[in-house]
Every structure is written in structure tokens, then in C-alpha cells.
């Protein structure tokens, strides 16, 4: 790939999936952790959620998906949450919702949306006051 070749964003096509999987399998592709897991990409594509790819020439170099997880909120509500009070990490059914909120916070920070970042951070800590002290890696993977 020539360093001067411009990259572009286009819609994800079904035949991009193999290249996306290869991208995930290549740890040298990026020094940063992916914002979402491969299973999230596959689930989003299969359910026809919006997805795009970044390409340089014809080489796929990145992916992005819009992931809507109402089921995470549903599981939180089924656990007894009614819009106020705690949503504790210790309950595995709450983790997807807490992760999604933390992901929104992180993406807001990435794009410089400081007010949105602060709102998400405040909400996250209202739901789980111990958030900063929790080992999120001890979660069994995305969506656990």
C-alpha cells in the first residue's frame, strides 16, 4: 500500500466480511484496541445495521458499525431497574448496558464532545459508583 494513496469510506458490502475478519486476526494492523468486537461486527452486519469500511485503494483497513442494543436495556429492566437507582456490574445481565454507556462516553471523548462525555460519565457513575475500580477485563468478552 502506497503511503500517498488516499483512503475513503464506503458502505460495508457482504463480501467485505472476510477482509474484516482478516483485519481482526492481524494484530499488526493497529496499535489500538478495537472499539467493538468482531462478534459485534458480524451481528450488526447480519441484522442489517448501518456499517461502513475504510479502504485504501482496494484494501480494507477499518470498519465501523452502528450497534443498537435495546436488549441490553431490556435485560437491565427485567432485572428490576426502573429508570433510577443502581445498575451494578456484579450482575452479568447489566454489563452490556454499562459497556455500551462507557463506549458512548469514550467515543464522545474521541471526537471532542466534552459535554456529552461528561453526561455519559455522570450517568455511568450514578448507575455503578464503583465503575472506576472495576476490572472490566474480567468480563468474559464483549457482551458478557
CA distance 90 to 103: 18
3-state secondary structure of 18: helix
**pLDDT digits over 51-95, tens only?**
788 888 888 888 877 654 444 444 444 455 445 567 888 888 778
Burial label for 73, CB within 10 Å (0-12, 13-18, 19+), is middle
**Structural domain for 59, as ranges:** 7-65
Does 81 map to a domain?
yes
**pLDDT digits over 17-42, tens only?**
899 888 877 766 666 666 677 777 78
Q: Which of 65, 93, 111 is the last residue of a domain?
A: 65
- Percent of the chain's residues with pLDDT above 90: 6
Q: Which of 46, 65, 84 is the last residue of a domain?
A: 65
CA distance 131 to 47: 31
Beta strands in the chain (DSSP E): 7-11, 51-56, 59-65
Amino acid at each position: 500500500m502506497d503511503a500517498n494513496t488516499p483512503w475513503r469510506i464506503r458502505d460495508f458490502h457482504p463480501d467485505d466480511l472476510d477482509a474484516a475478519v482478516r483485519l481482526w486476526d492481524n494484530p499488526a494492523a493497529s496499535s489500538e484496541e478495537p472499539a467493538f468486537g468482531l462478534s459485534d461486527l458480524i451481528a450488526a452486519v447480519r441484522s442489517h445495521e448501518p456499517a461502513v469500511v475504510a479502504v485504501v485503494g482496494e484494501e480494507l483497513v477499518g470498519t465501523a458499525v452502528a450497534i443498537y442494543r435495546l436488549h441490553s436495556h431490556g435485560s437491565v429492566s427485567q432485572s428490576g431497574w426502573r429508570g433510577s437507582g443502581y445498575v451494578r456490574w456484579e450482575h452479568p445481565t447489566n454489563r452490556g448496558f454499562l459497556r455500551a454507556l462507557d463506549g458512548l462516553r469514550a467515543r464522545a471523548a474521541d471526537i471532542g464532545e466534552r459535554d456529552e462525555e461528561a453526561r455519559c460519565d455522570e450517568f455511568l457513575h450514578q448507575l455503578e459508583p464503583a465503575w472506576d475500580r472495576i476490572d472490566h477485563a474480567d468480563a468474559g468478552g464483549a457482551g458478557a
